[in-house]
Amino acid sequence: MNDLPAIRFLDRTTPPHIFTLILITGMSALNMSIFLPSLAGMTSYFNTEYAIMQIALSGYLAATAVLQIFIGPISDRYGRRILVLSALAVFVAATLGTLIATNVETFLFFRIMQAAVATSMALSRAIVRDIVPQEEAASRIGYVTMGMALVPMVGPMIGGALDQMFGWHATFVFLAIAGAGTFALCYFDLGETVAEGGLSFREQAKGYPELFRSPRFWGYVACAAFSSGAFFALLGGASFVGDTLFGLSPMWNGVALGAPAIGYALGNYLSGRFSVRLGINAMALIGTGVTILGLGTSALLTISGLDHPLNFFGFCTMLGLGNGMTLPNVMAGSISVRPHLAGTASGLGGAIMIAGGAALSQFAGGMLTQETGTLPLQLLMLGVSVLAMLSVIFVIWREKRLA
C-alpha cells in the first residue's frame, strides 16, 4: 500500500500517525510493568503468597507468547484494524474486572485477559510494513520501538507513585483510562492497512520444520530467550527485593525498576550505530559480555557483604545495556537464517522468547525469601546470561563450519 495518501491525524482514510503506533505499542509494555511496584502490597491485600501473585506477570507473559504465534495470520485474514480495536476493548473490560476482583483467582483471570493488548504490539510492526516501502519500514519501526523503550522506564515510576498516593487500585484505574483513550484514538486514526493475500496459519506452519532443522536459528532464539530471560527474572523478583528486602517505598521501587530501561535505550542506540560495521554476531557477543560483567560484579559485591539497593539495581543498568546490544541483533539473525520464512521465524522466535521469560519470572518470584536475600536472583540472572553468550558462540562456530 505504498501509494496511500499523505498522513492526516485523526483521519482513518489515511495511514495512521506515528504517535498512534507508538501508543498502541507502548500500552502492552506499560501493562506489563506499571503494576510491579505494587506486587508485594497486592500479595498482602489478597492474603496470598508472593509466588501465586507472581502469576500476574508470568501468566500475562505466557498468554502473550501464545498470541505472538496466532495474531499475525489472523490479522492477515481479518485485518489489522478490527483486531487492534477488539484487543483494546477486551483489555479495558479485563482491567475493570481486576478492579472489582475480591479474590486472587478472579484477579489473575482478568489479569491474564489483559494480555489481549499485546496484539497491538505485534500488529504495529505489521501496520508499518503495510503502509511504507520496505526500505523505509526499518526506520519507522525503529521510531515505534524507541518510543516503546521509554515506557518500561516511566511505567513503574507512575505505578509506584499512584500506589503510594492512592493504593494499588489506582494503577489499574489509570490503565483503564489509558486503554479507553487509546481505543478512541485508534477508532478515529487507524484505518485498515492490510493488503489481501497474506499467508494463512497453515501456510506459515509449513515452514516450521525447515526452521526446526536450522541450528543457527535455534542458537539465535536461545540467545534471545536467555538474554530477555534475565530481564524477566528481574521483573519477577524485583518487587520482593525492593519492598521486602530493602524496604523501598512503592515510588522508589518503581524508580529502581526503571534502571534497566536506561541501559536498554543506550544499547539500542549503540546497536544502530555499530551493528553494520561490526556485524550482528560480534555485537551480540559484546552485549552478552557487558551483561555478564555487570551482573557478575554485582553478585561478587553481594557475596563480599555489600547488600545494598544501589548494588543490586544499579548494576541492572548494565543488564539493560547488554540486552539493548544483544536482542536487536539476534532477532535480526533469527529472521535472516531463512529469509523466505522471516514472518514465521519472527512469530515463532518471539513466542519462544516470551514463553521462556514467563517461566523464569515465575521461578524467580518463587525462589526468594528474606533468608536467601538477593543472591539467588543475581546468580539466576548471571547464569542465564552466560547461557546467552554460549548460544552466540555456538552460532559463530556454526557459521565458520558452513563457510
Quick one: pLDDT at residue 135?
Answer: 46
Domain boundary among 203, 225, 254: 203
The verdict on residue 279 lying in a domain is yes
Quick one: pLDDT at residue 201?
Answer: 63
Same-domain check for residues 276 and 313: yes
Q: Domain with 365 in it: what CATH number?
A: 1.20.1250.20
Cell of 300: 561478587
The verdict on residue 125 lying in a domain is yes
Same-domain check for residues 186 and 221: no
Write the CA distances from 116 to 61, 69, 143, 205, 385, integer angstroms. 11, 13, 23, 22, 30
Is the distance from CB of 101 to CB of 110 less than 8 angstroms?
Answer: yes
Write the CA distances from 276 to 37, 255, 273, 281, 331, integer angstroms. 38, 34, 8, 11, 14
Same-domain check for residues 298 and 192: no
The verdict on residue 321 lying in a domain is yes
Same-domain check for residues 272 and 334: yes
Based on the number of CB atoms within 10 Å of its own CB, is 123 exposed (0-12), middle (13-18) or buried (19 or more)? Answer: buried
Quick one: pLDDT at residue 261?
Answer: 79
For the four alpha carbons of 308, 367, 228 and 289, in that order, the dihedral sign comes to: positive
Same-domain check for residues 262 and 398: yes
CA neighbor of 91 nearest in space, from 114, 62, 109: 114
Quick one: pLDDT at residue 181?
Answer: 94
Same-domain check for residues 188 and 256: no
- Domain residues for the domain of 165 are 12-203
The verdict on residue 6 lying in a domain is no
Domain boundary among 167, 184, 203: 203
Same-domain check for residues 215 and 301: yes
Is the distance from CB of 30 to CB of 162 less than 8 angstroms?
Answer: no
Same-domain check for residues 119 and 132: yes
Same-domain check for residues 349 and 375: yes
Mean pLDDT in consecutive groups of 10 residues from the start of the chain, 403 residues:
58 73 82 86 90 86 82 74 91 96 94 89 70 54 61 79 92 95 91 64 70 87 90 83 83 80 83 81 93 95 89 90 87 72 67 80 76 88 95 91 69
Write the CA distances from 309 to 193, 302, 341, 368, integer angstroms. 47, 10, 45, 16
Alpha-carbon gap, residue 158 to 173, rounded angstroms:
12
Same-domain check for residues 145 and 191: yes
The verdict on residue 1 lying in a domain is no
Alpha-carbon gap, residue 138 to 128, rounded angstroms:
9
Same-domain check for residues 356 and 239: yes
The verdict on residue 139 lying in a domain is yes
Quick one: pLDDT at residue 253?
Answer: 80
396: number of Cβ within 10 Å: 16
The verdict on residue 283 lying in a domain is yes
Domain boundary among 203, 233, 263: 203
Same-domain check for residues 101 and 178: yes
Quick one: pLDDT at residue 193?
Answer: 73
pTM of the model: 0.74
The verdict on residue 44 lying in a domain is yes
Total domain count for the chain? 2
